[in-house]
Structure formats: structure tokens, C-alpha cells
Amino acid sequence: MSLIVVDVESDGPVPGLYSMVSFGAVVVEPTLSLTFRGKVRPVSERWLPEALAVSGVTRAEHLGYDEPGPVMEAFERWIQASSRGKPVFCSDNLAYDWQFINHYFHATLGRNPFGWSGRRIGDLYCGMVKDGYATWKHLRRTPHDHDPVNDAKGNAEALLAMIGMGLKLPAR
């Protein structure tokens, strides 16, 4: 089993009506050197300027990104090449990040190599420290700057710190 942390940037709150802009992924292992970055063009005419602004991309730049199908195919190949056993999707905000990645995989490839589920980092930490309101983001080292690879790395750093604190999860 390999844990893969994924972070998504989008131009709105829900896939299909709005579009994913970019995403980053990192395999949870000590060097955090196995990374992937995808940038996909809009699949909808709808977009929220304030949502797109979070990623620091203009609509014109977004329109110039790659078609989603080939990007998702490349991501699937990277997941297969980078994973030992079943890949497990992990995220800061599972409800947000998962919905976009799952939708784009199914819309473009008809399948999702992560299967049907994932793990939310915050819930793992809350369970680990036995506090449903515990915060975990202090465990990140890489600044959270909405570059999806940087954000995924910071979240993977937090998972590695939690593993170092005794959480039983694989870190390749």
C-alpha cells in the first residue's frame, strides 16, 4: 500500500459545473521526491474569479492548459509506477480534492486507480491524539501557498510527522 497525498486547485466549488485548474501529488516516503503536477483546461464555461484567483492563474492561462484526458492518463501511469501495492488517496480536504480527482478520472478514463475511497489527514490526526477538534497543520514544513505540489508536500510532511509519532501507516 502506498499513501499518495493529492491537492487540487479549481475555479469553483464542484466538478462538472466548474473546472479543476491544477493538482499536485506526492508519495508519502522520507524524501518526498516522487511528485506529479497536472494542469487541465476548463471543461465548463462557468468559473468564479475569486476561486480562480486562489491558484494565481488567469482565465486566459487556464484556457491554454492541457486537455484533461491525457493529463489524467499520465497521472494514472505515474500512480502505477510510483506505488507499491494499492495506492491510497490522502488529502487535507478529502471532500473537495477527492470529488475533483474522482470526477476527472471517471469522466476521462472511466475508472479511478484509487478505487472508491480515501483518507482525510485531519481525521487521522484527531483519532491519533483522541481529540475530535485537534489541529494538525502545524506539522507541515513546506509553506501552504496554493501551488498544489507544495501543498501536497506539506501535507505529506504532516503524515510523516504523524507516523514518527506512532501512527501506523506505511511510508514506503
**5: its cell numbers:** 497525498
User: At residue 121, what are phi and psi to the nearest 5 degrees?
Assistant: -60, -45
Q: Which of 62, 138, 144, 146 is catalytic?
A: 146
**33: its cell numbers:** 521526491
User: For this structure, is 144 an active site residue?
Assistant: no
**121: its cell numbers:** 489527514
Query: Quick check: 107 and 68 in contact, CB under 8 A?
Result: yes
Instruction: Map residue 38 onto helix, strand or coil.
Output: strand
Distance CA 119, CA 90 (A): 5
Q: Which residues are catalytically annotated?
A: 146
